[in-house]
Amino acid sequence: MANNYYDPADLRKFGNITQWSEELGNKFFDYYGKVFEEGALTAREKSLIALAVSHTEQCPYCIDAYTKDSLERGVTKEQMMEAIHVGAAIKSGATLVHGTMMMNKVNKLEM
């Protein structure tokens, strides 16, 4: 094993996950491929969603793959950064909205 947990070259090996569980691996890749086809959303819109989620999931492989995928689909830098802000806003909003739980609890416990 390499001296670091993440190696960019491992992204190319993603398909190898089918080797140790062929049926499940193939089902996953069939599903994955289908999800990103043009549908009610364009492949370009899906790529931008994937880019934002890649950041909220903080997955280096996904960021690598969907930055390139977005470029291939003609997405501009500004659009990519706005998409990431959407992810960041949901992440921070999701943290902050839990503040209401804290407030409920404080209100219940305090006299």
81 binds other proteins (CB under 8 A): no
Dihedral sign for Cα 11, 25, 50, 72, please. Answer: positive
Among 3, 31, 74, 110, binds other proteins (CB under 8 A): 74
Q: Nearest approach, Cβ of 42 to other proteins (angstroms)?
A: 6
Nearer residue to other proteins within complex by CB, 38 or 57:
38
Contact 79, 108 (CB under 8 A): no
| Residue (42 or 104) nearer to other proteins, CB | 42
Residue 58, CA distances (Å) to 4, 52, 64, 88, 110 in order: 17, 10, 11, 11, 38
Residue from 21, 42, 92, 104 that binds other proteins (CB under 8 A)?
42
CA-nearest of 19, 74, 21, 15 to 44 is 74
Question: Which residue among 16, 72, 89, 98 contacts other proteins (CB under 8 A)?
Answer: 72
**Are the C-beta atoms of 1 and 10 separated by less than 8 Å?**
no
Looking at beta carbons only, is 56 or 79 nearer to other proteins? 79
**Residue numbers at the binding site for other proteins (CB under 8 A):** 12, 38, 42-44, 68, 71-74, 76
